[in-house]
Structure formats: C-alpha cells, structure tokens
C-alpha cells in the first residue's frame, strides 16, 4: 500500500516536471503563433491577450513574397540533399565500419577533423571553387556536398550504428554467396532504418532551414528558398514581425509533419546510437 | 496506429519530394520559357519583376545589387527607376537583385574577393572611403568630366563622403541626418503648445519632464524623451555641442571638454527616469525593431529623416523640428549618412561605362525627385530636393531640407578605422555608471591612440 502511494507520488512529480519542461519548450512556438495574429504594434506589448485574430497576416505573408515558388525551390534542394545524404553517407560509413583497408582509421580521423573547421574558414575558398566550376546561381553548390559523403557527422553516426550490428550476419550472407554490395544493400541497410531516418531528418532540417548557402550562391530571385524569402520581412524599412511569424509558422509545418512521420524511427535511432539529437 | 500512419505517410512524402524534384529539374532546364517568365512576377502585384525582359544580345548587361528584396516597402520605386532606365536604353541593360539589408554585406563580402560582385552596388556612404581605398571601386571622375555632370548639385556633406584624393568613388543616392519628432496630441495633453517644439536642450528636458507619464504602480507609461531611443547615439548630439572625434590633423579628441559635456548630458538623460526600466525599454525596442515613438511609448525622439514615410503611415499626429541645441555655444547640424551607388571595378571598361550611365541616371534630378516624393526618403541631389514642387508645399520637408543643408560629414580615418569600436564599450560603461564620463572618454582616447600607434608601427 505504502509503496503504491510512493509510486504515485513519484509519478506525479515526474509528470509535473514533464509538463513544466514541455511548457518551457513550447513557449517560443506559442509566442510565435500569438505574434502571427497580432498587429506589429501590439507585438511590442508582452500581453497574452490577442486583441483581434488577424488571419489576414497569413494571407499577406503568403502573397507579399512568392511563397509558392520559394517552397518548390526549397523542396527541390531538400529532396536532393536527403536522397544524396542517405545514399552516400551510408556507403562511406559502411566502408569505415565493415571493410578492412589500409589507412582506414587515419582517414576516419581526418574525416572527423573536418567537423572542427568553422564554416567561415571554408566559405570563400569553396565559393571560388564553385565559381571556377561555373556553378554559381545554380542549386549544385547547395546539393553536391550531400552526394559526396553527406557530411562527417552523418557518416560518423551511421558508422557507429553499423558497428553495433553482429558480424555473423555478414558472414552468413557471404557463405550463401552474397557480394559485399549485396550484404550492404540487402542486410545492413534494412537493419539500420532508424539511423537512416535520423540522418534523413537531420539532412531535411539542415537544408530546409539553410540560409547562408542560398544567400551567397543564388543571385536569381526566382531560385530563392524560403529561408531567404523570409528575410524580406526584416529589411531596411523595418521588421514586420507579425508577417514574419505567420510565414515562419507555415514554413515550420513540413518539418513538424516530417518529424512526426519519422518519429518512431527517429527516437529508435537516438536510443540505438546513443547520440542525442 | 502511429506505425501504420508512418508506413502510409513516408512513401507519400518521399514520392511527393521526388515528383517535385523532377518537375523542378525540367523547369530548371528551360528557365526562359513563357511559363517561368509569368511566374517570375510572383505575388507582389504592382512591383516590376527583375527578370521580366531578357536583355537583347547587343546590349551590355550590368548587374545591380540593392537592399530592397521582394516585399520591401521601398522596392516598387527602385524597380520603376530600373525599368524606366532599361526602357530608355538601347545600349545598356540592368539586371537587379534585392538582398535584405541585414544580409547584403554577407553576400558582398563573399562575392567581392571571388570577383563575382555586381557592377553597381547600393552601399553605405560612411564606408565608401574604405572600399575606395581598397581599390575595388571605379573612379568615376573621368566619366563625370567627359559627360560634364555637375557634382555641385549634391549636398556638400554627401559629396565629401564619396570624394577621395580628387577621385569620385560613388554617387550619393539616398541619405539624411537627424530630426526630432514629437507627438502633438501628447503635447496638448501635457499642456504644451504643439506648434512650439523645444529649441534648446534645456527646453527639451523641461518638456520631457512634463510629457513623462508614470502609472499607478510607479512604472513609466510614456517617456518624454530618451536620447538613445529612436535612431540616435551619443555621436548625434556631439557635433551640436561643438565636439568632434578627431581634429583637422586626424588626431583623436575623444576626451575634449565638448565631448565630456555631451557625454555628461547623455548619461544623465539616459538614466533620468530609472536606468533599469529604460534599459528594458530600449532593449525591447532595439531587439524587436519596433519604433517606440510609433508604439506610443515616447513623446519625443530623435530619428533619421527617412522615418518620415513611417510617420505618415502611422496615423499619429506628429511634428518635426530641428534637434534642440545647447542654449549656449550650440553648433547647428547633425552627422549625415546614407547610401550611394558604387561602380565595382571588374577590369571591363565597357561595363564601367555602362554602369556610369546607370548611376548617373539614378542620381539625376528627375530620378531623385521620383525617389523622394514616392519613398519620402531624402536624396543626395540638393537641386532635386530644392526644385521639387511637392516638397515646397510640405512644412515638414522644409524643416528637413533646412537641416540637411547643415549635415556634417564624418571623415574616414585610415589610421584608426576601428575608433568607434574602441569608443562604444566606454560609452556603454558610462551609461551603466560603471565609469564616470571622464574615465570612459580618457580610456577611449588611449585606445584610439594605441590604434594609431599600431598603424604607424606597421606602415
């Protein structure tokens, strides 16, 4: 009886704590939602009351900038990045985790070292490389990286995952006459769906929200992405917070949908790899 | 349940993404078809699309980067001028690109070293000297002489910003200096005459006391005046007290008696109504970018003259006047600043010639009058301002034009280019009463002297 009550109290405390943290983490989003319904002047007052629900903010935010075109452009870049990252990062990670070759560990450390380089250092040299390739004002600089390994962090994450899988699986397949690529594609890839979903989500978030890449590489407004388009509300003539927030809410929706769709895999990926997202 | 949902939704999302990308690929390969052209107008209604007409091959195409992206309030006027220029030309075609003001320099900073910058840029007047000195700009003087273009039509201070060693490195397009704006209704409520704004700093303070409203809980509801709210800093009050940052020989004068007098006043006024609340007030205003005067939190504030458009749109009954001067020894005129059109040097004479045609058009009397009347943003061309009929009938414009004639030019000091960076933290320390104004200015003076010593040692 006593232990039952004790368990109840612990449960109650943990629920209260969870509610507290949920509210704390949700607060910025709620604030964003509230601001999107206010006028720009009302926004300055830290009230929780919205004097009037201004749905027209959403219509204006969608029409002041060519929102549809920006969305399509962003989807193109994001889709290529997701596909590229999943394909190339898994191949590289497999090679680092399961294949034996000379200098493997040294190259792995070199690859990890690329994570230490701040992007500001590589910004201008990379820009000059893409300029010489005549790729400026195209989507290539924004997507090509994901087909060439997909980023050190993703490779690292997948490598750790591949390492946890038992070697016997590969050996059994080899005995049955499977090639290395067959083992990779038929056995290891299906087993690491949670990790693949995790990097797909990371890749989606990264390229959906990428602002700096499109800013420096694109010079044709018809090719702009949403992240770049949103900046129209923050300019020399002032900041239109209400429109910015309305447009941001709409922009966040695909991320939310995708997160909830992949949630099952995503959480599994985190638990299995031991890496917090 | 969730698993089933995931199973259904994932293939859907992925296939949708693939379809989009395929559609996009085909769209990318044919960017000039009619459909894409009609899409390029976007949802902006009245504004002219940037890629509407393709440049015929025989024309020289130049690129023009500015700070008015899709959706910006000033974009339609800029678009119209570019469109008019393109239509008037059979030799030059301008392709423009609007980038948000806050990202403009990031894009420029990458593009210029890589040699992919624009032919014409809408850049700051204050740092024109820096770019001119680094050799990335075309000296426009030969073109000015060849065309007989009269630089005398620009305001002196605006002209000073772009003239270095006899060369001209930019054409002042839009600029301004500081004005005091005040809320006429609040004046009436406080028993003040709305047609008699303060003329001296002493009057300003007395008015501010009357206009400040303190609520029942002791919190300030309306602040009469605060020197840093709006668009002003210490430097905007300095020249009026006869102060300066450097003397004629470019030696720093950070801690001169005039500067000390200004900072004493500035700190006192900043903290007059309770430092903490003022700080919270100015932080909110600063971080949100919403103007406290427009939000009804201050009765008087110092702002730039391109604020006029927002004032007119606000519905507030406002007045505009010159910045009040000290009762004794006041010097009229605040520091001017703004933008100029710069031609970037890509080693292509034909493009430089074409770019000159465009910048001289944009800063001509006719184009500048269109700019000022539509954008309510003063222009660099003084003749355009003074001969514009619309401005002649508006008393507010008369006040602003009178002030513009007194605008001060802030010289670029190559030996101490980071002087403001050295002074600013000291001003903050004085405002927060961590240092006395004297200590703060002495420290700033030392820091700037050190910069000069470093420069001399390296050069």
Q: Provide the ipTM.
A: 0.74
Written as one string, the DSSP assignment of A57-80 is: HHHHHHHHTTHHHHHHHHHHHHHH
Written as one string, the DSSP assignment of chain A is: -HHHHHHHHHHHHHHHHHHHHHHHHHHHHHHHHHHTTS-TTGGGS--S--SS--THHHHHHHHHTTHHHHHHHHHHHHHHHHHHHHHHHHHHHHHHHH---TTHHHHHHHHHHGGGS-HHHHHHHHHHHHHHTT-TTSSHHHHHHHHTTS-HHHHHHHHHHHHHS-HHHHHHHHHTT--HHHIIIIIIHHHTHHHHHHHHHHHHHHHHH--HHHHHH---GGG--HHHHGGGGEETTEE-HHHHHHHHHHHHHHHHHHHHHHHHHHHHHHHHHT---
**pLDDT value at residue B14:** 44
Q: Do A261 and B42 touch (CB under 8 A)?
A: no
**pLDDT value at residue B178:** 93
**A207, A77 contact by CB (below 8 A):** yes
B20 SS3 class: helix
Helix or strand (DSSP H, E) at B420? helix B419-431
Class of domain B60-176+337-404: alpha beta
Report the chain A residue with the minimal C-alpha distance to residue B293.
A41
Nearest to A74 by CA among A195, A193, A247: A247
Closest by Cβ to A75, choosing from B20, B31, B106: B20
- A 91-130 residues with CB below 8 A of B? 123-124, 127-128
Which residues of chain B are within 8 Å of residue A241 when distances are taken between CB atoms? 288-290
- B 25-84 residues with CB below 8 A of A? 25, 28, 31, 36, 39-40, 42-44, 50-51, 63, 67-74
- Give Cα A250 distance to the centre of its chain: 17
Provide the 10 A C-beta neighbour count for residue B86: 19
**pLDDT value at residue B292:** 85
**In CATH terms, are B60-176+337-404 and B178-334+413-458 the same topology?**
yes
B107 SS3 class: helix
Angle among Cα B386, B389, B390 to the nearest 5 degrees reads 105
- Give Cα B97 distance to the centre of its chain: 18
- As a whole number of angstroms, the distance between CA A20 and CA B246 comes to 56
The domains of chain B are located at 60-176+337-404, 178-334+413-458
- Give Cα B417 distance to the centre of its chain: 20
Question: What CATH code would you report for B178-334+413-458?
Answer: 3.40.190.10
Tens digits of pLDDT across chain A (277 residues): 568 889 999 999 999 999 999 999 998 888 889 889 988 767 766 667 777 888 889 998 888 888 899 999 999 999 999 999 999 999 999 999 988 899 999 999 999 998 888 888 888 889 999 999 999 999 999 999 999 988 899 999 999 989 988 888 888 888 999 898 999 999 899 888 888 988 998 899 899 999 999 999 998 889 999 998 888 888 877 778 888 999 999 998 888 888 888 777 766 655 555 444 3
**pLDDT value at residue B277:** 67
Angle between helices B419-431 and B437-458 (to 10 degrees): 160
**B119, B351 contact by CB (below 8 A):** yes
Residue reference for tokens 């939602």: A33
Which residues of chain B are within 8 Å of residue A265 when distances are taken between CB atoms? 6
Residue reference for tokens 């029942």: B216
- As a whole number of angstroms, the distance between CA B441 and CA B139 comes to 38
Q: Do B71 and A65 touch (CB under 8 A)?
A: yes
Q: What is the SS3 string spanning B116-147? A: CCCCEEEEECCCHHHHHHHCCECCCHHHHHHH
Give the number of beta-carbon pairs within 8 Å between A and B. Answer: 153
**pLDDT value at residue B459:** 80
Q: Do B68 and A236 touch (CB under 8 A)?
A: yes
First to last CA, chain B: 73
- As a whole number of angstroms, the distance between CA A33 and CA A55 comes to 11
Please give the domain boundaries of chain A with CATH numbers for all domains: 36-273 (1.10.3720.10)
Q: Do B43 and A67 touch (CB under 8 A)?
A: yes
Tens digits of pLDDT across chain B (459 residues): 445 444 544 444 444 444 344 333 333 333 333 333 333 333 333 333 344 455 555 799 999 999 998 888 899 999 999 999 999 999 999 999 999 998 999 899 888 888 889 999 999 999 999 999 989 999 999 999 999 999 999 999 999 999 999 999 999 999 999 999 999 999 999 999 999 999 999 999 999 999 998 888 777 888 899 998 888 889 889 998 889 999 989 999 999 999 999 999 999 998 887 666 666 666 666 666 678 898 888 999 999 988 998 899 888 999 999 999 998 888 888 889 999 999 999 999 999 999 999 999 999 999 999 999 999 999 999 999 999 999 999 999 999 999 999 998 888 898 998 899 999 999 999 988 899 999 999 999 999 999 999 999 988
- A 209-228 residues with CB below 8 A of B? 212, 215-216, 219-222
């Amino acid at each position: 009886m006593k232990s039952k009550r004790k368990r109840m109290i612990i449960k109650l405390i943990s629920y209260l704590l969870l509610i507290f943290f949920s509210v704390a983490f949700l607060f910025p989003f709620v604030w964003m939602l509230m601001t999107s319904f206010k006028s720009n002047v009302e926004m300055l007052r830290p009230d929780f009351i919205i004097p009037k629900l201004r749905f027209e903010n959403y219509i204006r935010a969608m029409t002041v900038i060519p929102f549809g075109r920006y969305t399509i452009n962003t989807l193109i870049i994001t889709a290529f990045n997701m596909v590229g990252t999943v394909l190339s990062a898994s191949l590289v990670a497999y090679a680092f985790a399961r294949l034996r070759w000379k200098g493997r560990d040294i190259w792995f450390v070199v690859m990890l070292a690329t994570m230490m380089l701040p992007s500001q250092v590589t910004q201008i040299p990379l820009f000059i490389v893409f300029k010489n390739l005549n790729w400026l004002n195209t989507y290539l600089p924004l997507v090509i990286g994901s087909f060439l390994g997909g980023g050190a962090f993703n490779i690292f994450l997948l490598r750790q995952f591949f390492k946890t899988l038992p070697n016997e699986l590969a050996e059994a397949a080899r005995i049955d006459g499977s090639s290395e690529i067959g083992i990779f594609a038929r056995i290891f890839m299906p087993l690491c769906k949670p990790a693949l979903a995790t990097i797909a989500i990371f890749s989606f978030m990264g390229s959906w929200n990428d602002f700096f890449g499109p800013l420096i590489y694109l010079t044709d407004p018809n090719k702009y992405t949403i992240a770049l388009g949103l900046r129209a509300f923050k300019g020399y003539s002032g900041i239109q917070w209400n429109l910015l927030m309305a447009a941001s809410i709409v922009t966040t929706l695909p991320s939310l949908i995708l997160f909830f769709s992949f949630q099952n895999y995503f959480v599994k990926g985190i638990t299995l790899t031991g890496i917090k997202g | 349940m969730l698993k089933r949902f995931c199973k259904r939704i994932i293939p859907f999302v992925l296939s949708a993404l693939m379809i989009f990308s395929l559609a996009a690929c085909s769209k990318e390969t044919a960017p000039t078809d009619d459909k894409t052209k009609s899409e390029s107008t976007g949802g902006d209604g009245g504004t002219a699309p940037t890629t509407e007409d393709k440049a015929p091959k025989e024309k020289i195409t130049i690129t023009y980067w500015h700070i008015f992206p899709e959706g910006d309030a000033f974009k339609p006027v800029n678009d119209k001028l570019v469109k008019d220029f393109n239509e008037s030309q059979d030799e030059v075609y301008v392709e423009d690109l609007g980038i948000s003001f806050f990202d403009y320099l990031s894009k420029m900073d990458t593009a210029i070293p890589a040699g992919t910058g624009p032919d014409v840029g809408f850049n700051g007047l204050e740092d024109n000297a820096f770019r001119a000195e680094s050799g990335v700009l075309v000296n426009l003087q030969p073109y000015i002489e060849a065309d007989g273009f009269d630089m005398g039509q620009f305001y002196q201070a605006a002209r000073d910003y772009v003239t270095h060693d006899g060369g001209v490195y930019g054409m002042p397009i839009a600029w301004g200096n500081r004005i005091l704006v005040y809320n006429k209704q609040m004046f009436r409520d406080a028993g003040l005459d709305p047609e008699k704004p303060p003329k001296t700093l002493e009057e300003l303070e007395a008015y501010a006391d009357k206009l400040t409203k303190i609520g029942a809980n002791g919190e300030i509801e309306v602040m009469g005046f605060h020197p840093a709210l709006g668009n002003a800093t210490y430097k905007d009050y300095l020249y009026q007290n006869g102060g300066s940052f450097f003397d004629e020989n470019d030696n720093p004068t950070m801690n001169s008696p005039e500067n000390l007098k200004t900072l004493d006043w500035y700190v006192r006024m900043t903290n007059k109504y309770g430092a903490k609340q003022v700080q919270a007030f100015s932080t909110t205003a600063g971080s949100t970018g919403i103007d406290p005067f427009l939000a009804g939190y201050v009765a008087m504030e110092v702002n730039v003259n391109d604020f006029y458009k927002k004032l007119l749109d606000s519905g507030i009954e406002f007045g505009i006047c010159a910045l009040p001067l000290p009762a004794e020894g006041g010097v009229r005129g605040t520091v001017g600043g703004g933008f100029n059109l710069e031609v970037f040097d890509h080693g292509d004479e034909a493009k430089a010639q074409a770019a000159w045609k465009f910048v001289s058009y944009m800063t001509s009397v006719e184009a500048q009058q269109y700019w000022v009347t539509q954008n309510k943003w003063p222009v660099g061309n003084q003749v355009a301002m003074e001969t514009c009929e619309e401005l002649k009938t508006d008393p507010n414009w008369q006040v602003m034009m009178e002030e513009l004639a007194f605008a001060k030019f802030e010289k670029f000091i190559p030996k101490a280019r980071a002087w403001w960076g050295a002074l600013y933290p000291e001003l903050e320390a004085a405002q927060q009463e961590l240092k006395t104004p004297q200590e703060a200015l002495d420290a700033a003076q030392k820091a700037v002297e050190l910069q000069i010593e470093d420069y001399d040692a390296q050069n």
